[in-house]
Chains A and B, each alone.
Chain A
Amino acid sequence: MADALAFRVGPWTVRLHTPLPEVRRTAAFLYRDYPRPGPEAFVDYEIALLPGRGGRRWWRPQVRFLFEGQEPFAPLTRAQAYPFFEWGLNWCLAHHTADYLVLHAAVLERDGRALVLPGPPGAGKSTLCAALALSGWRLLTDELGLLSPADGCFHPLPRPVSLKNAAIDVIRRFSSAAALGPSCHDTHKGTVAHLRVPAGAVAALERPARPGRIVFPRFVPGLAGLRAGRLERARALVQLAEQAFNLALLGEAGFEALCALVDGTEALTLEYGDLAPALAWLERAHP
């Protein structure tokens, strides 16, 4: 098999083995700036993306995702190969750590304080996150916020930002600096393309950020202007917990970390229909 691609994401080392040329090309493009550990390094996540077995190599080709030699997911169609790698890796990272409470959230930093954008897929956080990352904010993560119970800070895990459907063109138009990987059509989420993380955010892989503000975004098509509101702390805590992958694993330490998070920050809701005013509002609201 062709050489593996090893790179460092946040606190961990990932190694990808794959003979699929499109996956190798896209990974090399998107992870261009990441540190590359040598063959003697400890590898936290050993991933392989392989062609389907038997007839599935030729007839309606499929792709298989292997973590440490096992397949946690059913195979997908070959067209989804690259996004499959990113989704599968998300699952591996979110479910094999007890050092951080892993929140489904985008996290960006400016002036030393983190902006936390929690939310399920479809809330519009990826678009906001990509636009902010291209406007001078430092991207810590677009999907998996790593909250450390030990220091109360978010730790960086910058990975390519997954953009879906209309958001791809919105971001392409938004900034000429946007480096986008190829679009994969016909995935179960529609068309997906990934934005390369700006080099500055990759360079700051080891610099955590203190929480500054939590904003629950919601994209409302056609909404003119913005609707913002304050969220009670207990409600914010419960909504954050719903977005946590490993609260039960961390138990009381995880709960305490969430309490400290909402205790030290203000939690807001933001409904928006247009990107520009939402960005301006987030700039102004940042502590």
Chain B
Amino acid sequence: MSAPGIRWRAAPGLRLCRWPGEESCACFHAPSGDLHLLEAAAGRLLAWLLEDGPQPAASLARRLEADFAAEPGLDVAAWTEACLQRLARLHLVHRLPG
């Protein structure tokens, strides 16, 4: 779990393409030239980071909870953290020190 002060930022040069009602979205990272197919929730996280700037994982988790009917018993905060880690390994998001 990341420390409370840490915020996440979308990598420069990201382009996101989402279509309402679809389960996946496409994300293009211009610096590396890589194209990724992401599930809708991960796309949602990226879209918020792109539109509203850097945010802590906790606020992203809260927004996800409000938007998605999560499976009962799913720890949304842990899922969000894991998702951000995964996106970081793809160079799509970075941590900003508090």
Partners in one complex: yes
Is B37's CB under 8 angstroms from A234's CB? yes
Please tell me if B63 contacts chain A, counting CB pairs below 8 Å: no
Q: A232-B23, A255-B15, A259-B17 are in contact. Are A238 and B28 (CB under 8 A)?
A: no
A to B CB contacts below 8 Å, 22 in the list? A232-B19, A232-B23, A232-B24, A233-B22, A234-B17, A234-B24, A234-B25, A235-B24, A237-B26, A238-B26, A238-B35, A238-B37, A248-B33, A251-B33, A252-B15, A252-B28, A252-B30, A255-B30, A256-B15, A259-B17, A259-B26, A263-B19
Interface residue tally on A, bucketed by range = 10 to 19
Majority secondary structure, B binding face: strand
A247: chain B residues at CB < 8 Å are: 33, 35
> Within 8 Å CB of A248, what residues of B?
33
Interface residues of A in 244-277 (CB under 8 A from B): 247-248, 251-252, 255-256, 259, 263
Name the distance in Å between B84's Cβ and chain A's nearest Cβ: 20
Number of A-B contacts (CB under 8 A): 41
Residues of A within 8 A of B (CB): 232-235, 237-238, 241, 247-248, 251-252, 255-256, 259, 263
Residues of chain B in range 1-55 having any CB-CB distance to chain A below 8 Å: 15, 17-19, 22-26, 28, 30, 33, 35, 37
Complex alpha-carbon distance, A251 and B15, angstroms:
10
Bound: A6/B22 CA distance, A: 49
Contacts A234-B24, A252-B28, A255-B28 aside, 9 further interface pairs with beta carbons under 8 A come to: A234-B26, A234-B37, A235-B37, A237-B26, A251-B30, A252-B30, A255-B17, A255-B35, A256-B15
